[in-house]
């Protein structure tokens, strides 16, 4: 058993540890079972971190198994993307990539076994009739007229279903359990449906496909899974999961444990809804940096470590329905990049500044640390020239009192360089500011000017040597915390029209070397990542990963302070 270093404790971890210590469990085997009908999202990351994390922590195995029982919605492209995402997150599955479809022969044999035991039958009711006969939460169901069919007839019909003698919906195979069970899942659930669909793994071999319930537990058992961890919506399926294991000659009996799914505010964690955004061209594919997909977050600039850290922070519980703040996810990536991203200067809204007392052709180069606390990072060479760009937001013609940046007649320090004073504002005929003319105080390199206090420091880029680049400013995709809260309304109405704003920016020359997916802090601006698709042939496109302001940490701090104060007051009252 390895030590608990990678992940925070939670109820499942504690339970498994107890089992191991009591000698009730040997080597543990978990699995991550995605359906290849879309890309993985941050909710899946929670499940991945949990399942792979447990295997890592207790020296067990975690399998990657595609739960591929619905060929109509599944695609090879999703299979490839899911594998890439799991690997990118830093996890390795034990053994080969597995597919539930690998077990179709065995599952079929087990279906025949149930028929022979009188525990399954072919039903001719239509899907609507089946629903009607099933009853409700308050009323028991009633048996299908086909429920008492003989074994031989059932076996024959099942075989003819398999080879495609019937049309879709004409017949199903059902378990024969209890039409009056208080748990609707036990009212003769469907085991096989007819589907004349070609399957990405098995081709045209099958005309019937097993249901999720008939597939999942048996696949777990065939793989020797010890702990089958899933989300809470499967809690009511657990008796059925166990019924199959009890009534089939399975090699081992895994145990199902449920936990609460992750819901994140200002976004959606449902593949179906994300697919709708992709299919309607509302976002730029499954890896659009605004999506909470793992590949979208990757393109946005998230690191695997930051996603794993976030999953540790949110923990694993059985408390359902909570919304986790996206600010917490932003916090996780921000603190990673704070420590690990090299710094650079970039001006998002360039305003030209001519430094009138710097001669034309003059150039000096500053050697600036790549990161204030990381000597291992390469030093940057930042050239200073007569013409530079500053950000439009760092200049105001009529500044309010506490504006410590540049204004007519005012001074400001250029980061890593001199103090300059704004002497003149040059405007176009229509009154738009075209450039500023400023003068440099050459006595201020690395020291304060004599007798004057210059509070503001702004970033800048040499106009001559700076590199043009496109910057994509991403924000929350939705304007409201829970876009799909109202089930009858259209969640698309809540899209944030400003979720992507693109600007033409100027960056310091060192950024020309940025490789796809390299991440930076643009000083005073935020954290950015070179786009993995667009940065080719010298084109520079940066995606904003996250801003600098940490609202989550701030709120945590305020809450801690308030708690402390409350406690003090309580103590005072007590005397
Ligand atoms: P979606 O509703 O987005 O399609 P799903 O549950 O149908 O999700 P699967 O591919 O079947 O997606 O899920 C694979 C695994 O990931 C399952 O074990 C599932 O419980 C887990 N999972 C899916 N969504 C979340 C979530 N939001 N939080 C935690 N785990 C999740
Ligand atoms: Mg699913």
pLDDT tens for the chain, 575 residues long, are 333 335 678 999 999 999 999 999 999 999 999 999 999 999 999 999 999 999 999 999 999 999 999 999 999 999 999 999 999 999 999 999 999 999 999 999 999 999 999 999 999 999 999 999 999 999 999 999 999 999 999 999 999 999 999 999 999 999 999 999 999 999 999 999 999 999 999 999 999 999 999 999 999 999 999 999 999 999 999 999 999 999 999 999 999 999 999 999 999 999 999 999 999 999 999 999 999 999 999 999 999 999 999 999 999 999 887 899 999 999 999 999 999 999 999 999 999 999 999 999 999 999 999 999 999 999 999 999 999 999 999 999 999 999 999 999 999 999 999 999 999 999 999 999 999 999 999 999 988 888 888 999 999 999 999 999 999 999 999 999 999 999 889 999 999 999 999 999 999 999 999 999 999 999 999 999 999 999 998 999 999 999 999 888 888 888 889 888 988 888 888 86
Q: Which residues are annotated as a binding site?
A: 35-37, 41-47, 67, 212, 231, 261-262
Radius of gyration of the chain (CA): 31
231 lines ligand 1 (CB under 6 A): yes
What letter would DSSP give residue 63? Answer: E
Pocket test for ligand 1, best of 38, 39, 47 (most atoms within 8 A of CB): 47
Q: Which atom of ligand 1 is nearest to the CA of 34?
A: 10
What per-residue confidence (pLDDT) applies to 6?
A: 52
Q: How far apart are CA 12 and CA 246, in angstroms?
A: 24
- How many angstroms separate the CA atoms of 189 and 213, rounded? 8
Q: Is 559 exposed, middle or buried (0-12, 13-18, 19+ CB in 10 A)?
A: exposed
Q: Looking at the CA of 44, name the nearest ligand.
A: 1
d(CA 441, CA 419): 6
Q: Which two tokens stand for residue 174?
A: 């059902």
Residues of the binding site for ATP = 35-37, 41-47, 231, 261-262
Domains and CATH numbers, the chain: 11-259 (3.40.50.620), 346-466 (2.40.240.10)
Ligand 1, atom 9, lies closest to the CA of 34
- Taking the C-alpha atoms of residue 399 and residue 406, their distance in angstroms, rounded to an integer, is 9
Task: Decide whether any atom of ligand 1 lies within 6 Å of the 46 Cβ.
Answer: yes
Residue 269 beta carbon below 6 angstroms from any ligand 1 atom: yes
Report the C-alpha gap between 71 and 200 in whole angstroms: 7
CA–CA dist 573, 338 (Å, integer):
42
Region of 521 (left: φ > 0; alpha: ψ -120 to 50; beta: rest) is beta
Residue 570: its pLDDT value, please?
87
Q: Which atom of ligand 1 is nearest to the CA of 40?
A: 10
Ligand 1 centroid–CA 226 distance in Å is 20
In degrees rounded to 5, what are phi and psi of residue 356?
A: -65, -25
Between CA 543 and CA 218 the distance in angstroms is 44
* pLDDT at res. 449: 83
Q: Which ligand is nearest to the CA of 65?
A: 1
What span, in angstroms and rounded, lies between the C-alpha atoms of 471 and 348? 7
Q: How many CB atoms lie within 10 A of CB 164?
A: 14
For the residues of 518-561, what is the DSSP string, one character each?
-EEEETTTEEEEE-TTT--TT--EEEEEEES--HHHHHHHHHHH
The three-class DSSP label of residue 61 is: strand
Query: 11 near 318, Cβ under 8 Å?
Result: yes
CA distances from 402 to 1, 35, 456 (A): 59, 56, 10
pLDDT of residue 2: 34
The reply to whether ligand 1 has any atom less than 6 angstroms from the CB of 466 is no
The pTM of the full predicted model, rounded to 2 decimals, is: 0.94
Sign of CA dihedral 5, 11, 12, 16: positive
Q: Which ligand is nearest to the CA of 47?
A: 1
450 phi/psi in degrees, rounded to 5: -60, 125
Reduced to 3 states (helix: H, G, I; strand: E, B; else coil), residue 117 is coil
Q: What length is written for the chain?
A: 575
For a pocket test of ligand 1, which of 30, 39, 44 has the largest count of ligand atoms closer than 8 A to its C-beta?
A: 44
* Closest protein CA for atom 23 of ligand 1: 44
First to last CA, the chain: 51
User: Which pLDDT value is given to residue 1?
Assistant: 33
- Ligand 1 pocket, 270 CB below 6 A? yes
Ligand nearest the Cα of residue 262 is: 1
H/E element, 259: strand 255-259
Q: Is 346 in the pocket of ligand 1 (CB under 6 A)?
A: no
Q: Is 34 touching ligand 1 by the criterion CB < 6 Å?
A: yes
Instruction: Indicate the SS3 state at residue 365.
Output: strand
To test ligand 1's pocket by mutation, which of 40, 43, 311 has the most ligand atoms within 8 angstroms of CB?
A: 43
Q: Which of 459, 435, 458 is nearest to 507 (CA)?
A: 459
Residue with token string 């052709």: 361
What confidence tens digit (pLDDT) does each residue in 415-464 have? 999 999 999 999 999 999 999 999 999 999 988 888 888 999 999 999 99
44 pocket-lining for ligand 1 (C-beta < 6 Å): yes
Q: Which residues contact 257 (CB under 8 A, 6 or more apart)?
A: 12, 15, 227, 228, 229, 230
Q: So which residues are the catalytic ones?
A: 35, 261, 271
Q: What is the pLDDT of residue 5?
A: 39
Helices 104-116, 212-222: axis angle to 10 degrees equals 110
Taking alpha carbons only, the member of 170, 194, 200, 191 closest to residue 73 is: 200
Question: How far, in Å, CA of 349 to CA of 365, rounded?
Answer: 23
């Amino acid at each position: 058993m390895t030590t608990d270093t990678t992940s925070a404790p939670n109820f499942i971890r504690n339970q498994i540890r107890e089992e191991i210590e009591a000698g009730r469990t040997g080597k543990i085997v978990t699995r991550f079972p995605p359906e290849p009908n879309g890309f993985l999202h941050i909710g899946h990351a929670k499940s991945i971190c949990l399942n792979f994390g447990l295997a890592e922590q207790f020296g067990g195995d975690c399998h990657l198994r595609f739960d591929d029982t619905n060929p109509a919605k599944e695609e090879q492209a999703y299979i490839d993307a899911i594998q890439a995402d799991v690997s990118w997150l830093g996890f390795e599955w034990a053994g080969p990539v597995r597919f539930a479809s690998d077990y179709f022969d065995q599952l079929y044999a087990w279906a025949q076994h149930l028929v022979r035991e009188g525990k399954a039958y072919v039903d001719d009711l239509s899907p609507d009739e089946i629903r009607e006969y099933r009853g409700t939460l308050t009323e028991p169901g009633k048996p299908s007229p086909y429920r008492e069919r003989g074994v031989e007839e059932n076996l024959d019909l099942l075989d003819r279903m398999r080879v495609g003698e019937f049309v879709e919906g004409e017949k199903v195979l059902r378990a024969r359990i209890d039409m009056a069970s208080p748990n609707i899942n036990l009212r003769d659930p469907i085991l096989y449906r007819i589907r004349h669909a070609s399957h990405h793994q098995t081709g045209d071999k099958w005309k019937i496909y097993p249901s999720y319930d008939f597939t999942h537990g048996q696949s777990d058992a065939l793989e020797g899974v010890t702990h089958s961890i899933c989300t809470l919506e499967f809690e009511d399926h657990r008796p059925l999961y166990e019924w199959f294991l009890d009534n089939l000659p399975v090699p081992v009996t895994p145990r199902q444990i449920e936990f609460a799914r992750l819901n994140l505010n200002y976004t959606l964690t449902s593949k179906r809804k994300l697919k709708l955004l992709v299919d309607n061209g509302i976002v730029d594919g499954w890896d659009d940096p605004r999506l909470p997909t793992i590949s979208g977050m990757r393109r946005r600039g998230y690191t695997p470590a930051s996603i794993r850290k976030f999953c540790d922070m949110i923990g694993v519980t059985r408390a359902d329905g909570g919304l986790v703040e996206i600010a917490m996810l932003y916090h996780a990536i921000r603190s990673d990049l704070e420590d690990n991203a090299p710094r650079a200067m970039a001006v998002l809204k360039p305003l030209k500044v001519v430094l009138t007392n710097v001669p034309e052709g003059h150039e000096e180069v500053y050697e600036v640390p790549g990161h204030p606390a990381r000597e291992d990072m390469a030093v940057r060479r930042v050239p200073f020239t007569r013409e530079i760009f500053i950000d439009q937001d760092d200049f105001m013609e009529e500044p309010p009192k506490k504006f410590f940046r540049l204004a007519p007649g005012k001074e400001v320090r250029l980061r890593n360089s001199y103090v300059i004073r704004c002497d003149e504002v040059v405007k176009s005929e229509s009154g738009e500011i075209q450039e500023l003319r400023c003068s440099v105080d050459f006595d201020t390199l690395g020291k304060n000017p004599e007798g004057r206090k210059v509070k503001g420091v702004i970033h800048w880029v040499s106009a001559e040597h700076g590199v043009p680049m496109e910057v994509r400013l991403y924000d929350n995709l939705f304007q409201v915390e829970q876009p799909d809260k109202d089930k009858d309304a259209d969640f698309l109405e809540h899209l944030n029209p400003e979720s992507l704003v693109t600007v033409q920016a100027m960056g310091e020359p060192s950024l020309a070397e940025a490789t796809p997916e390299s991440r930076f802090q643009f000083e005073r601006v935020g954290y950015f990542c070179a786009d993995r698709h667009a940065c080719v042939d010298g084109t520079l496109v940066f995606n904003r990963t996250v801003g600098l302001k940490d609202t989550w940490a701030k709120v945590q701090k305020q809450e801690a302070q308030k708690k402390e104060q409350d406690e003090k007051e309580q103590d005072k009252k007590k005397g």
